[in-house]
Structures are given as C-alpha cells and as structure tokens.
Chains A and B, each alone.
Chain A
Amino acid sequence: MAAAGRGDAGADPASNPGTVAVCFCESTPLLWRAGDVRTARQTGVVGTLMGSLARQPRQNCRLGRPLELLREEARLLADAGRAVLLSSSRPKSTGAANPELVKQHQEQMDQSYSEQSQLAQQDKKAVLLRVMADKKQGSNQSDQALQERLLALDHGFTFPRTAMAVQLSTARAGMSYGPEELRFLAADSLSPRDERQEARYRVFRDLRRRGFYLTTGGKFGGDYLVYPGDPLRFHAHFIAICLPMDEALSLCDLLALSRLGANVKKTVLLCSPGAEPEEVLYTSLQWSGMV
C-alpha cells in the first residue's frame, strides 16, 4: 500500500545546533524543523502546533508541525541570539528546472525503490516461511505448494512502482526548485508597533526570566496563561493581562476579570511595565469570599 512519510533532510542556512530558524509566513513566525521545536522547548518557548499530524491527519486533538510562535517568543529568541529570522519570497515559476537537482531526485527515488523492493521481497518470504513453520504437521502437498511459491518468489518477484512509499518533507528539504531567496530579516522586524505590544513583550520577558512557561490566553480572556512548569505537566496558575502603566481600567472590567478568574480557578494577574527598564509590577486578583 502506498504511504507517505514526512521528515526533513538537508542543510539549512541556520545549521548551528543551538539556533532555530524562524520562518515567517506573512508576519507569523513559524518553526518547521523538529530539532528547532525541541530546542525552543528547552529554552522555555512553548508555541502552538498548527499543522496536521502526519500519522493521524484527520483529527484536531494532536496537531503537528509547523509550530506557531507568538511575536514575543520569536523576539525573545532573537534577542538571546538563539534564532535566525528568515523570510522567503515566492519563487518565480518562469525559472527553469534545475536539471542537476532533478537528476539527484530521480536517483534518490530509484535507490529508495530498489531498497523497498528488496525489503518487500524479504517480507513476503518471511510470511511464507512462517506459514510453512505453522503447517509443519500438515500434509505434504500443501508443503510442496508452499515450496513452489517460495521458489517463484525468488525468481519472479516484482514490486510495482505505484506501491512505493514516498517521503513528503515537512520542512524545506534543500532539494528545491532553484536558488531560494531567503531573506535574513533584521531583529527589528519584530519590534513592537505600539505601547501595548511593548508592554506585552516586557511582561513576557520578565515572567520567562522568573521561570514560568507562557502560552496564549485568549480562551480565558487574557494575554497569557502562566504555568509554573511545562504546560504538559501543569495547569495554568495565572491569567496574565498586560496593561501600560497609565491606562485606566474601569471597575466593571475589573469585576468581570475577577469573576472570570474565580470561575476558572485561576488568579488574574494585572501586569504593567514600570519606569525602570527591567521592572514589571504585578497585581493579583483573587476571589476570597465574603468577609
């Protein structure tokens, strides 16, 4: 049966072991390589997987690569020097096929085909042998038939080309259609556009420094969900809402936020960057009950 596997191969510009290649898909930072996802997780950047999972594509519980990063996460990685920001322009279809690469691809396919046909033959033989071993106590005629089949297998086995398994790469495999125009973006392409984004980034950086893990908090009405450890092992403890210091918050909004936090059993954190460059002030809201 035909099957397609997904994997990646080949060298990319950012091939340092500790650096991740952040590729932008119209202003959304994405991580494509499995190694990058692992590295990012080790530095505490969680992100969200948003592609189909190769083994089980038709479900939404567990998704696969690419990993979508928040702008703040990408910026944190870039500031720490752990990320290379890339953006590729769309290729021109008028370019001619690169004959070398086509030949290389064909050779790879042929090699894979021969390997697979050998493995398929061995597989079939093993099946027949097992059947023979099970039928050891059986009659002689069936034994003979099986022997004949084994012989036929050795001589005339054909593996149809359409049954070959082909690998469909997830990340850019390096054998592409032409010279990719990868643009290395400057880090200030991620700089905040307004005060609110700046506030978000400073809060993110500070909470990361304190060792918390952060993911998006849209489902709970806030900016971030704050976990004491890896999100796979803990529930969120806080809902972080980032506000510039001098922004006024009406009492109705405050009440709505505290009600929300009480209902989902999380503490609401109002976070504001302070005057000092590294200072962030936190206020927590917790429903304490009737006094």
Chain B
Amino acid sequence: MGFSEHGKQLLLPEEALYLMECGSVQVFLHDLPLSIQEGYEMFLSKDTVNLQQYQVFSHLKRLGYVVSRFDRSTVPSHYERQLNLPPERDGHGRQLKRKRSRSPSSQLPDGQGGVAGESLEMRGGETKSQRANPEDGAAGLSEPEAERMVEDVPVPSGVPERRWWVEGGADLPQSPTRPRHRGWVWETITLPDLGAHRCQPALAAPDPSLLPGRLSVGVCAMEPWLRRLNLRPERLSRRERERERSRYRRDVNDDREVRHCRSWAEYHELRRRRRNRHGRRNRPEHLWEGKVTPLLQPGQHTTAGDVLDKIGVVGASRLLDGAAGLEDSEGWKISFDVFQPDTVAEFKKSSPGKPYSRLCVCSFEGPVPDLRVLKQLAFQSGDVPVTFAVVDHGDISFYCFKDFQLPTDTSH
C-alpha cells in the first residue's frame, strides 16, 4: 500500500479510507481528525475511485488480496512479451515505465486540486501504527506526513514536460498520463521507397507528433543517400542468365512444337496431348474436366484435419481478433490489478510481477458487457484475465469470460 514521491510517503485515497475503517490510521484535516463519513465523502468521487469500486477494493483487501490501481502503461505489448526483455530499472530499483507514468504531465481542474495540499495530514505513527498489521507495516508512517491524492500532484515547472507520447494530453480529464494508443498506426506512416526508379528529390519533414521532445527535423535531401545506394543494373553470369530464362522467362513462342501449330485448334490439340502424357495418372478427365471438380488431389492432403479445414465454413476465431484497433468504450475500464493473498510475503512494490487478474467494476443495474467491450478490455489487459466485479447494493459477484475452442475430431 502506498507509494513514495519526493521523499514522502503517500497513500492513495481508497487505501487511506480502508486503513481508516480498519482503525490503523487517523487522517487529519486542519488539525482535526476526520470521521469515516467525512472520509467517504472526501475521498470517493468519480475522479478518484467511486463508491462501487471502493466496495470491491475493500472487499478484496479484507480477504487478504493485494489490490492496486491499474496502470495501462505497465502492460507490455505482445511484441515486448515475445522479446522477453528484463524489466528496465533506474537507480532506485523502480521500473522506468512506472516512474514515467506517475508524474502527471498536465494540470487538473481546480475543483480537484483544491482539496489536496498541505492541509491534509496523517498522523499514523503517534497513536495508530502499533496495531500489528502485517501488510500495513510497509506503510511505516513514523512521522507526520502530508497526504495527497495521486492525481492532485501538480508538476513543478522545473520538470521538463514529456508529452510526446500522450495524444491530446491536455483534454483527458481522468487519465492525463495514459497514452491513447500503444502501437503505431502503420497505414498513416509512409515509408518511401528510395530504390524506385522515379525517386523524389527530397523527403518532406516528418510529423512533429512522431518526434521525441522538441526535436525538429527539416526536409531531407535525397542526393547524397542515393549516391550511396547501389543503383547500377545487375550483371549476371551466363549460368545465372540461363537459369533465369528457363525458370521465369520462358516464352511460349520459343517452343518448337508450338511454332509448328498453324491454328488454334492444333494448339489446343498439342496442349491436350502434353497434358495426357504428363498428368494422366493424376487427373482423370471425367473428374477434372467437368464443371464440378474434386476438392482435393490424392496425396495432396494427408490428415483428416487438413480435409476438415478445407470444407470448413465457419473459421476459428479468438477473443483478441481485431481487438487492436478498438477505441475505448464508454464507461468500461479496468480499475484494479489483483494479486493473490499467498504471494503477500514475496510481493514487492517495485516489481509486482504479473497480476492474478484485473478487475472491471460494474453495477448490476447497468448493461451486460458486449463483445466489443470484452475484446477491448482483454486487449488492454494483455495476457492477464479480466474479471468483472458486479456490485448489487453491497453484494459483489465476480464473473469472467473465457476463450473456448470447439473440439474438432481429428483423431485419425
């Protein structure tokens, strides 16, 4: 629980409220302690964590799970997973990605920023933290600390703003630090073909949104690069030329027998004769010359699976097909990462590892998620399953959609 920033130990609002309810922590505002009711009213809102999400959070925390907020930038893409890179770390042992995503790059509207600030203080150490809570020992609040919510930390002007990976960074009210798209959209990026015969004299300057920082790149002249390219025509040896000719450049008219044919009818006859000579064993006429021909050639497909594939009408599809390009759906988002309780002993905030599941909180009265939402959330989550926590006035049920392949009978 909790995180440290600028040398101070801070708690997220839902964590602070949970610890207040457990009786481990007392939160002070203007030197007066807050009651639980005031904590609910102050810490829960649709900008931080709403009431239903908090219900799910506290339900799981009470059972012993480790629950943290979902951060989309920490999900490795499919390619990164394939590469199996070790996680990057900076000198403090924290993942670089996490660090980047924590520093918000845009100011928030005033209503949010107004609550935070120096006036909230948590005096956990004086009276509270003697209560032995194994997981809260990590919070270790031993001196009065300022509590601020994550989103409310304004960026000091000295920090260089890194906005280039965030699209439309200023107009995302809820998640100013999360990039919209994780991958490149290849259809819009043109890679010029420099070896083509008609080459452009100069390449236009690239789109500044694709460049890091304040880099500015001008127009690129092609002359020096083209000189470095080998644009001389190929000169093949005699053997290579003959091979080319025989394999790719066989002209029909070079054939002596074809030259002997004086009409189309004779040409057809020649072709039929040749076909019968070579392919008689494989393609009997009565089968292959009609309008309806057999599906397979004997010897072409050897397993029953291949045959079934050929006659299959409905193709197999997986949940993540076509999920890459989906836009974010309204109201459906992954809220939390959940780690199992028996890993609490080995759990490290700096390297949490792969979560057990990711949670999307919804209400019983709301709509059931449709396929589009399922695909989009499964894609966002990577290889971790997504669980839907459905809240019905205090009762929480967990649902999970699993991919399933219909069994095919290919045992022979």
B394→A93 contact, CB < 8 A: no
CB distance from A54 to the nearest CB of B (A): 6
A169 within 8 A of B: yes
B contact residues around A65 at 8 Å (CB): 36
Number of inter-chain CB pairs below 8 Å:
153
B130 within 8 A of A: yes
B266 within 8 A of A: no
B36→A169 contact, CB < 8 A: yes
Contact of B38 among A3, A60, A176 (CB under 8 A): A176
Closest to B365 in A: A218
CA distance A117 to B126 in the complex (A): 16
CA distance A23 to B63 in the complex (A): 28
B128→A2 contact, CB < 8 A: yes
User: Do most interface residues of chain A lie in helix, strand or loop, or is the interface mixed?
Assistant: loop
Contact of B126 among A59, A66, A91, A161 (CB under 8 A): A161
Stretch at the interface among B1-9, B15-23, B195-203, B211-219: B15-23
CB distance from B106 to the nearest CB of A (A): 21
A contact residues around B26 at 8 Å (CB): 4, 166, 168
CA distance A170 to B42 in the complex (A): 14
B283 within 8 A of A: no
A48→B395 contact, CB < 8 A: yes
B contact residues around A162 at 8 Å (CB): 126-127, 130
A93-B23 CB under 8 A given contacts A23-B37, A26-B45, A50-B55: no
B contact residues around A51 at 8 Å (CB): 21, 36
A57-B31 CB under 8 A given contacts A26-B50, A32-B37, A168-B26: no
B45→A90 contact, CB < 8 A: yes
Closest to B111 in A: A90
CA distance A164 to B392 in the complex (A): 39
Contact of A68 among B114, B120, B393 (CB under 8 A): B393
CB distance from B137 to the nearest CB of A (A): 14
CA distance A49 to B20 in the complex (A): 17
B58 within 8 A of A: yes
Contact of A66 among B30, B40, B64 (CB under 8 A): B40
A133 within 8 A of B: no
Question: Which chain A residues have a beta carbon within 8 Å of chain B's beta carbons?
Answer: 1-4, 6, 8, 23, 25-26, 28, 30, 32, 48-52, 54, 57-60, 63, 65-66, 68, 70, 88, 90-98, 101-102, 105, 161-164, 166, 168-173, 175-178, 216, 218-219
Question: Which chain B residues have a beta carbon within 8 Å of chain A's beta carbons?
Answer: 18, 20-24, 26, 29-33, 35-38, 40-42, 44-46, 50-51, 55, 58-59, 62-64, 114-117, 119-120, 126-128, 130-131, 364, 390, 392-395, 397
- 28 contacting pairs across A/B (C-beta < 8 A): A6-B23, A6-B36, A26-B51, A32-B36, A32-B37, A48-B394, A52-B18, A52-B22, A57-B23, A66-B36, A66-B40, A90-B41, A93-B114, A97-B30, A97-B32, A98-B30, A101-B32, A102-B32, A164-B127, A173-B35, A175-B32, A176-B32, A176-B35, A178-B30, A216-B393, A218-B390, A219-B392, A219-B395
